[in-house]
Structure 1
Amino acid sequence: MGELKRWERAIEQFEQTLIAKVFGREPVEVLDALRRECDDHAVVCSHSRVVVPNVYVVELADDVHAEVDRNAESVGQELTDSLARHGEQKGYEWAGPLTVHITGSAHVPNGRYRVTCAPMPRIRADLLPEDGT
């Protein structure tokens, strides 16, 4: 069990280092904002079931997004992985497949970033049009 905890800490340290390199001064704030958004939108369905939204959007100020844009996919995946671990620790059930998208915006309220979330249910593959769109 101790070995597993050590690996988890090493992975979290790696993620925080990567995100710090990309976001610069505010990686912990963004991660905390994601976790807070998740916690704030948790819906208690029963004593053993808490459902949380599964789609999160991190809107960055345009200048920050321009710096992050070339690594947006890997940073988005790292943020998704970090949020997934947070949800696992809290015992949350996601409303569908978990994703974190990074976008740019000229209208973030604090001039740096904004985090929003929404539940997006699973989409059954047999209900998609034949052309896949």
Structure 2
Amino acid sequence: MNRRVFLTSVPTVAVISGCSLGGRRGQPTRAETNITNVGDRCTGEQNNARVVEAEENTIRIEGTIPSVDSTESIRATTYASSEESEILTRIYTADAETQTRDCNGSLSYEATVTYTNIDPSSARILHDSNESVIVTETTL
């Protein structure tokens, strides 16, 4: 098993089950992410992310992740830490069952993070693709 497969297979369980850490007042912290591909950018290698909306228990993210092969899709995992009052969302590439696009390059997405039992003061967005890692941090 190569390292990349191992790293991307571990967080997949967290997407399905949510992330559970110590929350406020002894309640478990939970966070889940829904991600949608909103467009291919077959030219260029754009790499950006930003929180476009932050409401109680919800953060909406828009971004573009670079270096996505035509046989890959994007996935997301969110980790929430009540001790650090932070939410970390990892957007990453993984092999798709079928070819998903006609080209290689950047991929635009929208992600919605929902969480409970945490009052985050910041959000970090980590892009983890074939060739690059970038972290964007936003104060909420």
Q: TM-score, normalised by structure 1?
A: 0.35
TM-score (norm 2): 0.34
- Which structure features the higher share of strand residues? 2
Q: Kindly name which structure, 1 or 2, has the bigger radius of gyration based on alpha carbons.
A: 1
Flag the structure with higher helix content.
1
